[in-house]
Amino acid sequence: MSNNLVGILGASFVGKSHIVHILTNKPNISYRAHVTIGCNISKYNYNNIDYSLCDIYPQFSYIKTAHSWLQKFDMCIFICDATDYSSIKIALDFYNELKPKKYAILINKTDLINRLDKEKFLEKIHNKIKDYILVDFRTINKRAKLITSFNNILDNIN
């Protein structure tokens, strides 16, 4: 495990594991959806820096239990699902629990909504959380773009 711990947090089914899978596997290995229990740690290298991507079980009880460990994370990336408003509240609850100094929000599944709904979703986030880096994204079939966006996040919050 590297010294750079990156927490990948958000409600269940928002796409956390799929994102980590794309970042850490070859393009020909397809993602098989599964429920993540506990914390899955994957290695990621960018600009000769090793990161440990920690894909975290999204139950609030787990976040509470693992609180002191999660607070050691160097940065947190909160994932929201553009089709599910409740994913904003859950990301916010995790943010308020951990209060990370360095964090970003990635809005996933934007392939499933239209432009107008996307604007409404973004406005809702703007009203709730200030001062963050925002990436809006669709995981599906956008590997290269995800890697670029993710590396941009690392550049900007590091």
Cα(56)–Cα(64) distance, rounded to whole angstroms?
Answer: 12
Angle at 71 between CA 65 and CA 74, to 5 degrees: 140
CB-hemisphere CA count at 13 Å for 33?
6
Q: Which is nearer to ligand GTP, 64 or 101 (CB)?
A: 64
Question: What mask, x for binding ligand GTP by CB under 6 A, covers residues 33 to 72?
Answer: x-xx---------------------x--------------
Closest C-alpha among 50, 59, 55, 52 to residue 19: 55
Stretch binding ligand GTP (CB under 6 A), from 11-19, 43-51, 67-75, 147-155: 11-19
CB of 19 to ligand GTP, least distance (A): 7
CB of 31 to Mg ion, least distance (A): 10
Contact indicator for 95, 109 with CB cutoff of 8 Å: no
Query: Given the rule CB under 6 A, which residues bind ligand GTP?
Result: 12-18, 31, 33, 35-36, 58, 108-109, 111-112, 138-140
